[in-house]
Amino acid sequence: MSKCDLQIKFDREDRTYAGGETVTGRVYIRINNSMKSNGVTLTHQWRTHGRGNVSGGTKETVELEDARSYSPGEELEFSFSLRSPTYPVTYHGTMLNVDHYVSVEVNVPWAFDPKAEEDYVLVPGEPPAHFVGSRNEIIALTPAAGQSSTPPNIILAILSMMFSLAFFLLIKGPSRFCKNVLAGRLGEVKLSTPHVVVAPGEQWTARIQFQPRKRFRINSIGVTLLGEESATSGSGTKTTTHTHKIWEQKLVVRSNDILTAGELVSEEFTFVLPTTAAFSLDLMDNTIQWRATVRIDMPLFPDWSQAQHIQIVPESFLRNLTDGPPMTSPDNTASFLGTPHTSLAPVCASESLESDEEEESSESATQKMLSDFLQLVATMNAAPRHGNARGHLVSNAADQIFEAAILIDRVTSSMGASVKYPGYEYGKTVTGTIDGTDQAIQVNTLESQNNGIDDLRRGDIWQTQLTLIDWDSLYNRINARQIDENAG
């Protein structure tokens, strides 16, 4: 039997506190054997646990009682009141976790010290005092920390610097050559964003602009939003880094197209950021990072790409930040000599203003349907593959019409297949993947569209309107049918 029993109870049953709130509770001690104590200490600290080295905040200690002797049967009770930190909040992920602890320890000389520890949940509340500035740039959000479990190694740092310098010198030539080759084809590529400090669920838009110097074909212009946990364990030459994708979403705004020399290309990407508790985190060996990588994919040629890091923080943290200025309109000054061109069809100058507005509205609706479909696919990919989650998502969206761009794998006749919709029995079955993603899809097409469908070849990008039928769990595939855009 231990010399004493310890128990910690929080005043709130759910143990949940917002950043900056006061954490209150009580410590109960029951003495089992006669003993002397050098004091009772309460400690408050956040720590990480998981696959990486342990990082922790500065320990806050409170002396509950001074040195004294105890007799069997004594029962002691101490109240505590602690101000919770504002950052980092509690997080439970795959590779790393962040928890906040209150522990109590009785210092018994020449014996093991009895201890007890309980964790509480810290949710977003007040923003950190130093989290101020503009949403245009990443803001350092490193909490006061205690010692990491990885000791510093000066010799290793020097060797690492020497290796990095040699590596830089080795790749500098080829990298510069590749950059010059891309500039010779694309010209200057400008990537602009309204802000990089964002909150979950917020809409985020980026724009890419360039004026090609040559005529060439592209496979696609797209962006990938990636959220990733990273946990590093070990030290020196025995370090291991474990990563886990929290979120991956791809959006293609232009595909299988030919760009003309001197003609301005201006494309926008708009994401609705996921509703997530995986806020950006940088704790040395434990990180959560978000980035958007824009890529111009060109056949038989090096791709151009640029990554923009995004800092996702709780909405309350934006309180003391200034908004970034809105993105400027496409640059139509003398630096671009050609007529601006986007993936939307140009409008003839002879059409009336009313006609312009109607076409812009139609194009906007098309782009929205395409974006909605890609958002649905991203949600499906984030859902568990096994079970009914993906099937339910398809069923719930079955009455909607989507615009889809499909990378063709094969086209076959639907004749003899089990097709229950009139007008599709003698049509075609198109199988492929949704462009810019790995999601398989099979589409039943209208018989009236056979002539156009017969011209499709493997590797082509086919854009059409469709509605969902069901989810094929055997092939992990969406089943859909083409919508007659001219009907009704």
Which DSSP string do the residues of 79-90 spell out, in sequence order?
EEEEEPPSSSPP
**pLDDT score of 222:** 92
Residue 355 placed within a domain:
no
| Complete DSSP assignment for 247-282 | EEEEEEEEEEEEE-TT--EEEEEEEE----S---EE
Whether residue 310 is found in the same domain as residue 166: yes
Pure H helices in 127-245: 154-186
Whether residue 397 is found in the same domain as residue 463: yes
Burial of 440 (0-12, 13-18, 19+ CB in 10 A): middle
Residue 281 has what DSSP assignment?
E
Q: Say whether pLDDT at 164 is over 60.
A: no
Residue 49 placed within a domain:
yes
Looking up residue 211, the CATH number of its domain turns out to be 2.60.40.640
Looking up residue 460, the CATH number of its domain turns out to be 2.40.50.140
Across the range 447-464, mean pLDDT stands at 88
**pLDDT score of 416:** 56
Read off the amino acid at residue 390. Answer: R
* Residue 145 neighbours by CB distance under 10 Å: 13
| 197 and 223 Cβ atoms separated by less than 8 Å | no
Residue 359 placed within a domain:
no
Report the alpha-carbon distance of residue 449 to residue 73 in Å, rounded: 88
Q: Say whether pLDDT at 221 is over 90.
A: yes
* Confidence bin at 391 (pLDDT 50/70/90): confident
Report the alpha-carbon distance of residue 225 to residue 418 in Å, rounded: 38
Residue 354 placed within a domain:
no
Whether residue 255 is found in the same domain as residue 221: yes
Beta-bridge partner residues of 17 = 122
Tokens 């803001």, residue?
A: 139
Across the range 407-432, mean pLDDT stands at 81
Question: Which secondary-structure segment (H or E) carries 223?
Answer: strand 216-233
75-116: pLDDT as tens digits = 999 999 999 999 999 999 999 999 999 999 999 998 889 999
Residue 247 has what DSSP assignment?
E
Please tell me which residue, 292 or 417, carries the higher pLDDT value: 292
Report the alpha-carbon distance of residue 151 to residue 54 in Å, rounded: 11
Which distant-in-sequence residues (6+ apart) come within 8 Å of 252 by Cβ? 220, 221, 222, 374, 405, 435, 436
Please tell me which residue, 179 or 226, carries the higher pLDDT value: 226
Whether residue 170 is found in the same domain as residue 100: no
Which distant-in-sequence residues (6+ apart) come within 8 Å of 8 by Cβ? 25, 26, 27, 28, 102, 103, 104, 116, 117, 118
Q: Say whether pLDDT at 353 is over 60.
A: no
Number of domains the chain contains = 3
| 103 and 119 Cβ atoms separated by less than 8 Å | no
Residue 438 placed within a domain:
yes
Residue 141 placed within a domain:
no
Residue 240 sits at the vertex; the CA angle it makes with 239 and 244, to the nearest 5 degrees, is: 150
Report the alpha-carbon distance of residue 453 to residue 68 in Å, rounded: 89
CA 222 and chain centroid, separation: 16
In angstroms, the Cα distances linking 433 to 223, 243, 408 are 17, 27, 7
Residue 156 has what DSSP assignment?
H
Whether residue 317 is found in the same domain as residue 235: yes
Report the alpha-carbon distance of residue 37 to residue 21 in Å, rounded: 32
Q: Say whether pLDDT at 215 is over 60.
A: yes
**pLDDT score of 364:** 55
Q: Say whether pLDDT at 148 is over 60.
A: no
Whether residue 196 is found in the same domain as residue 299: yes
Query: Helix, strand or coil for residue 240?
Result: strand
Whether residue 260 is found in the same domain as residue 401: no
Report the alpha-carbon distance of residue 466 to residue 49 in Å, rounded: 46
Read off the amino acid at residue 24. Answer: T
Report the alpha-carbon distance of residue 302 to residue 464 in Å, rounded: 30
| 126 and 16 Cβ atoms separated by less than 8 Å | no
Residue 83 placed within a domain:
yes
Whether residue 336 is found in the same domain as residue 374: no
Query: Of 45, 4, 5, 7, whose CA–CA distance to 26 is shortest?
Result: 7
| 220 and 255 Cβ atoms separated by less than 8 Å | yes
Query: Of 349, 217, 332, whose CA–CA distance to 264 is shortest?
Result: 332
Residue 466 sits at the vertex; the CA angle it makes with 460 and 471, to the nearest 5 degrees, is: 95
Report the alpha-carbon distance of residue 273 to residue 255 in Å, rounded: 23
Whether residue 200 is found in the same domain as residue 257: yes
34-77: pLDDT as tens digits = 999 999 999 999 999 999 999 999 999 999 999 999 999 999 99
Residue 321 placed within a domain:
yes
Across the range 187-197, mean pLDDT stands at 90
Whether residue 286 is found in the same domain as residue 194: yes
Residue 90: domain span: 4-126
Q: Say whether pLDDT at 282 is over 70.
A: yes
Angle separating helix axes 353-382 and 389-396, nearest 10 degrees: 160
Whether residue 24 is found in the same domain as residue 89: yes
Q: Say whether pLDDT at 339 is over 50.
A: no
- Whether this prediction's pTM lies above 0.85 is answered by no
Whether residue 424 is found in the same domain as residue 334: no
